[in-house]
């Protein structure tokens, strides 16, 4: 295989359509939970539209400030997205309902003073999954449209960590200036938790963890080339990292966490919903695992 073919296979791999369908379902459920639990301030801000300052994407799309009516329509679209994602033959419509409703909701949420970078990957996912076409939960047909969409989500996920590392570098002057600093000590002092307060007694240990975090963030793109147990190890390490930040600092990064599902063989879940008419044209084992 020549270089161009290798690059093409990496950027646009042939992956099961079912993986897209399962990811759409997972993101639809999370989007509804996010809008009702994490970014639920949109409804309470519709009466102060003069304080809304749209982000660049909001300005490019000419998104107006939220109103009670438009926020209700967006929430209705999120609910409909989950319902349609569970129904056969309507999953393309589910993707559109979830994506449009969630994009509007997040643009409104981020326009009121705080832009959360942990939402970058999921916003990318909501856009690119629309290009993947029809996908059912038990359809194992390899598709490069599905592979391209999933690869974009994967890249956006690891780019979140690289962007965080670069930000630390830029704001501190050098990477080691951040890693050798007292950022985590200050964070556990300010945010506080039982575990965080206890770890704050060991500043040298926290400096070591800062180095580990920084190295792992810079190395996050390596996950794009991992396979098998090494890929599962990388995903598991990311989950452990986010669990530790939640337990010590109360920071969860759930919108990024859920996007790690794009790396996993979600199509294997199809065995629980597989119908006699399933369009599995070849075994899952023969499809490239990315």
Domain regions of the chain by residue span: 15-268+282-286
The model's pTM is 0.86
pLDDT at 143 over 70: yes
Which pLDDT does position 284 carry in this prediction? 42
* Residue among 249, 251, 285 nearest 267 (CA): 285
pLDDT at 55: 87
CB of 147 within 8 A of CB of 290?
Answer: yes
**Residues 69-79: pLDDT tens digits?**
999 999 999 99
Q: Sign of torsion, CA 65 69 72 76?
A: negative
Please report which confidence band the pLDDT of residue 275 belongs to, taking 50, 70 and 90 as the band edges. Answer: low
**Does the pLDDT value for residue 104 go beyond 90?**
yes
Confidence of residue 288 (pLDDT cuts 50, 70, 90): very low
Cα angle 128, 130, 131 (rounded to 5 degrees) comes to 70
Mean pLDDT for the chain overall: 86
Q: How confident is the model at residue 200 (pLDDT cuts 50, 70, 90)?
A: confident
Could you read off the pLDDT of 205-235 as tens digits, one per residue? 989 999 999 999 999 999 999 999 999 999 9
Specify the pLDDT at position 265: 94
Helices (H), 113-227: 120-128, 144-172, 175-179, 183-191, 194-199, 203-218
pLDDT over 70 (residue 274): no
d(CA 187, CA 175): 18
Mean pLDDT of 87-93: 66
State percent of the chain over pLDDT 70: 91
């Amino acid at each position: 295989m020549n270089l161009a073919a290798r690059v093409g296979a990496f950027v646009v791999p042939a992956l099961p359509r079912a993986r897209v369908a399962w990811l759409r379902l997972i993101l639809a459920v999370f989007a509804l939970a996010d809008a009702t639990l994490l970014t639920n301030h949109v409804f309470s801000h519709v009466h102060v539209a003069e304080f809304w300052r749209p982000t660049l994407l909001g300005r490019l799309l000419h998104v107006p400030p939220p109103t009670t009516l438009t926020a209700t329509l967006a929430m209705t679209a999120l609910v409909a997205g989950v319902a349609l994602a569970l129904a056969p033959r309507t999953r393309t419509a589910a993707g559109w309902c979830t994506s449009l409703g969630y994009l509007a909701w997040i643009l409104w949420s981020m326009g009121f003073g705080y832009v959360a970078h942990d939402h970058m990957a999921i916003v990318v996912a909501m856009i690119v999954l629309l290009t993947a076409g029809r996908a059912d939960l038990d359809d194992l047909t390899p598709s490069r449209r599905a592979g391209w969409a999933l690869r974009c989500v994967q890249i956006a996920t690891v780019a979140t960590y690289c962007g965080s590392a670069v930000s630390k570098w830029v704001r501190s002057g050098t990477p080691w200036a951040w890693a050798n600093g007292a950022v985590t000590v200050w964070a556990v002092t300010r945010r506080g938790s039982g575990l965080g307060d206890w770890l704050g007694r060991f500043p040298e240990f926290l400096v070591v963890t800062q180095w580990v975090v920084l190295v792992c963030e810079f190395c996050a793109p390596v996950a794009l080339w991992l396979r098998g147990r090494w890929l599962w190890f990388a995903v598991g390490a990311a989950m452990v990292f986010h669990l530790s930040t939640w337990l010590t600092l109360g920071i969860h990064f759930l919108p990024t966490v859920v996007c790690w599902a794009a790396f996993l063989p979600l199509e294997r879940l199809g065995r629980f919903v597989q119908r006699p008419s399933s369009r599995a044209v070849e075994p899952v084992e023969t499809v490239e695992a990315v």
